[in-house]
Structures are given as C-alpha cells and as structure tokens.
Amino acid sequence: MKMAVFLGCTVPVRNLSYELSAKRVAGELGLELVDIPEFGCCGYPVKSVHHETAYLLAARNLALAEERGLDICTLCSACTSVLTEVSRELTANEALLDATCKSLGMLGRRYSGKVKVKHFVRVLYEDIGLEAVEKAVKRPLDMFSIASHYGCHYLKPSEIYDRFDHPEVPQSLDRLVAATGARAVDYRTKKDCCGGAILGVDEETALSMARAKLDDISNAGADAINLICPFCSVMYGANQRKIGAGRDVKYDLPILYYPQILGLAMGISHEELGLMQNPIRPRALLAKIS
Amino acid sequence: MESAQKKDVPVVTVLDPKFKYEVAREPGGENIKYCFQCGTCTSGCKVAEFDSKYNPRKIIRMVILGMRERVLSGDFIWLCATCYTCHERCPQDVRIPEVMNALKNIAVREGYIHPAFRAQAELIAGYGRLYEVDELANEKRTDWGLTEIPQGCPEVAEIYGITGLADLLSGGAGGKL
C-alpha cells in the first residue's frame, strides 16, 4: 500500500517525533508513505476567514497527490477534516469541481476528483487492520495504562468520515492501544476538545479546556496520553507546564503519539521513535519497559 | 423609552430582517433557518462551559432577529473551537460550526477580521504554511533522516490573488475589531 503523506504545517516543524515514528511504523507494516515537497497549507486555518481560498488551497494539495496517482494519508486531524471535506465535495458537486478546475488552471494544475483522504490512524485501523497491528507486537506494553485523546476532527463531522467510528462513543484509538497490550484507560472527558483552535482568540479559555482534561486523565491514573494530532500536542505537551504553573500543580503526564506507542510494542528502540524529543520527556515511562 | 435608558437596558435600534437570508446564501450558512432554539448546542459546548461570552444558540437567535452589526462586529463569533460536538447533536441539522464560519466570512468582508486570524492568514500567504520552515528547521530534519521541505510556496500567495483574499487583507479588511 502506497500513499502520499500530508504533514501539514505543525508536524514537520514542531512534532518531528510524530512524523519520524509514523514513517518508521508504516514501513514495518507495509505502508509506503511518499513525501510531496510541494504540499502547502491544507486550508483549515483560512476556512473561517475566506471559504473559497480554503477550498482552493485544499484542492491544490489534492491535485498534487492526483498527479502522482496517490491517495493522501494525514497526520494532523484538522488537515484531515478540510482535505476530506473538499475531496468529497469536489467528487459530489460537478459545478464546484468545474469552478475549482478553472482556478487551478491558473496555477497550471488540474484535478479530476479522484483522491481520497484518510488519517494515518484510520489507515491503521481500517486498512492495515487491528489483526495485523496485533501480529506486529513483539513486546506487549502490559505495564502501561494509556488514555486516548480522540480530539475533534479525527471523528467529526462524522458524515464526512462515513461514521467509521462513533462520534459519541468512539473506540478506534482504545482498541489500537489495547492491541499493543497496554491498558486503555477510560475517563469522563474523553471526547472533549483540547481548545487549540481558539488559543489565539482566548488563551485563558483554551488553556482551561486543556486543563480540565489533564486533571481528569491524571486522576484516572494514566501513565501517558495517546495523541494523534499535532495541535492537541501543543495544548497538552508544549503548554502542560504553563497550565500547571498557573495553579501550582505540577503535571507529569507524558504525551505519546500513537505510532510511538505501537513502535515501542513492535520492539523498535525509543531513540528511533524520537520519544525523548517529545515535549514532555517520558523518563518514568521508559524506565518501566527496561 | 426614558426609563429603559435609565436602567441601562440595551435598546436594539438597527435590525436587518434580511440578515438571515444573507447568512443562508453564504457557504455553510444554508440551514440557519431550521433552528428552533432548543439550546442543545450551547448545553454541550465546551467553550461555553468556560466562557459565557460564547453562546451558539444566542448567536443564531441574534442572526434570525436581524442583529447584523452586533453579530458581525462581536469577537464572540471567533470563539467557536469547531469541535463539531453541537453539529453531531443538533436535531435540526443547522450545522452550527459551518454557520459560524459563514458569519466569520461575512465579518471579514465587512472589515471585522479577528487579529489572530488575520495574522494566521498572512503567515500562510508568506510561507505557504503556518510556520516558516527555515534552514535551521531543515537542518534538524536532515539530521533526523527526514526529507527537506522547500522554503516558501508561491502558489499559495497566487491563490490568495485569484480568490480576492489578498485584496481583502491589504484593503479595508480588518482594523475594525
């Protein structure tokens, strides 16, 4: 299986360990991820400012993948949502496709509506499959309790994702965690948003949203949070100390990207998965394995 | 009238009864008139839980009443985190996060772009992405065995020109908020 990997803006600059581990794990599982250097912004941050621009930015990326005859595999959930939405709209709405093609033509590009988009974790869940994931596990992580944060755009709006997982009772991440042998921790605020999208508008509210979840996950006794979106990682990782300092609380809750968890279970060294490069260094966690 | 002013009750003077139709014509705003004010959106909204300034049910009510200027100039429309929780639960399929996007799109054209969103849009026009991938970032990528990423992406700025967003950003847009 071969797909174009869409890194987005945040991953290749701020979450290198997510990219590194995803590519490493994909290789082991027979998923070839191809870089397309010309990819630009997915369009998501502009959608609320100028709809047409967001759609054209997304369509340009779809066109770049189509030129190479590849579907797109995403690492960021926000990129997933806008690229999926636009790819579906352009397939379903011929008038919109025509208008978009006219604009793309001005850039010397064309698009015929063939590209499909899937989040990396959804590819693992649906295409590689849980069974193959389980089979790849050589070092079950039964010493770990891991709380999954689904975030928003991996699941919702559910109609653009064919409801592959239930938006109110999601299971895919917990099942993928369980496949590694780790205990999937259940907690009350599991479905809640990280607040990342409004960090620049109302920092206090955004950090309060992240804080509520950090509290809940800590109280549930998890060793780490499982993340699949770089912006959620900014909230729970990069901002963890700031959130704690505001209330005299010292969280020590490592964030792990799912491919890092899976990679560890597959027996890949933590150096190759970039674990010590994560925003919260998972020292205690790694001590548990060795 | 006098007593209302004395008690500092806000008096709505300018209503635009056609505002809801304007929103319904905007991409994402199509279903706004289906709203029957049940409040499911606000009751499950995480942002509203921490910041009472954001109340999606109320915003939609204001649109339907025609409070155009108040809605478009308010910073509260920029507080939707687009988590789509309300979207999944809305019994009338109002598609609330998309309605908020429609409102923000109109607000931008009226000169009310939020500074954080203006900054993001400008960064993307300049770098082709939200963050600059400079030499240092690429050096780090190479050290890690990851492919280099070209600096800049001129086609993104071209897209801003084609759609008219470049003119909006350099012209009168923004500044009011």
Q: What single string gives the DSSP state of each residue in B8-38? A: TPPPP----TTHHHHHHHSTT-TTGGG----
Rounded to whole angstroms, the Cα distance separating B166 from B145 reads: 37
Give the confidence band of B7 by pLDDT, cuts at 50, 70, 90: low
For the stretch A211-259, pLDDT in tens is 999 999 999 999 999 999 999 999 999 999 999 987 888 898 999 999 9
Rounded to whole angstroms, the Cα distance separating A30 from B56 reads: 45
Q: Select from A53, A84, A118 the last residue of a domain.
A: A118
**What pLDDT score was predicted for residue A152?**
97
Average pLDDT over residues A132-154: 97
Q: Select from A66, A92, A118 the last residue of a domain.
A: A118
Q: Do A136 and A261 share a structural domain?
A: yes
Q: Per the CB < 8 Å rule, is B120 touching A46?
A: yes
Q: What is the CATH number of the domain that holds A93?
A: 1.20.1050.140
Mean of per-residue pLDDT scores for chain A: 96
Rounded to whole angstroms, the Cα distance separating B145 from A17 reads: 11
Rounded to whole angstroms, the Cα distance separating A170 from A121 reads: 13
CATH topology of domain B2-109: Fumarate Reductase Iron-sulfur Protein; Chain B, domain 2 (1.10.1060)
The ranges assigned to domains in chain B are 2-109, 115-170
Q: Per the CB < 8 Å rule, is B159 touching A107?
A: yes
Rounded to whole angstroms, the Cα distance separating B175 from B115 reads: 8
**What pLDDT score was predicted for residue B10?**
65
Is residue A72 one of the residues assigned to a domain?
A: yes
Q: Give yes or no for residue B3 having a pLDDT over 70.
A: no
Closest-CA residue of chain A to B29 = A51
Is residue A145 within 8 Å of A185, Cβ to Cβ? yes
Q: What angle, rounded to 10 degrees, do the helices at A258-265 and A16-28 form?
A: 50
Q: Give yes or no for residue B172 having a pLDDT over 60.
A: no
Hey, what amino acid is at A47?
K
DSSP A269: -
Query: How many CB pairs lie under 8 A apart between chains A and B?
Result: 172
Q: Which site among B79, B163, B167, B177 would you substitute to test the A interface, given the most A Cβ atoms closer than 10 Å to its Cβ?
A: B163
Does B84 contact A at CB distance below 8 Å? yes
Q: Which site among A23, A42, A49, A202 would you substitute to test the B interface, given the most B Cβ atoms closer than 10 Å to its Cβ?
A: A49
Q: Per the CB < 8 Å rule, is A53 touching B159?
A: yes
Closest-CA residue of chain A to B160 = A53
**What pLDDT score was predicted for residue B175?**
45
Q: Do A189 and A55 share a structural domain?
A: no
- Which domain does A103 fall in, by range? 2-118
Give the global pTM.
0.95
DSSP B146: P
For the stretch B122-139, pLDDT in tens is 999 999 999 999 999 999
ipTM over 0.85: yes
Q: CB under 8 Å, gap of 24 or more: what pairs does B49-53 form?
A: B50/A204, B50/A205, B50/A208, B50/A209, B51/A202, B51/A204, B51/A205, B51/B79, B53/B79
Rounded to whole angstroms, the Cα distance separating B25 from A1 reads: 42
Is residue A124 one of the residues assigned to a domain?
A: no
Does B136 contact A at CB distance below 8 Å? no
Q: What is the CATH number of the domain that holds A149?
A: 3.40.50.11810
Q: Do A174 and A277 share a structural domain?
A: yes
**Residue B160, min C-alpha distance to chain A (Å):** 6
- Residue A157 preceded by cis peptide, ω within 30: yes
Does B160 contact A at CB distance below 8 Å? yes
Closest-CA residue of chain A to B152 = A40
For the stretch A50-84, pLDDT in tens is 999 999 999 999 999 999 999 999 999 999 999 99
> Which residue's entry shows tokens 């992406």?
B153
Is residue A35 one of the residues assigned to a domain?
A: yes
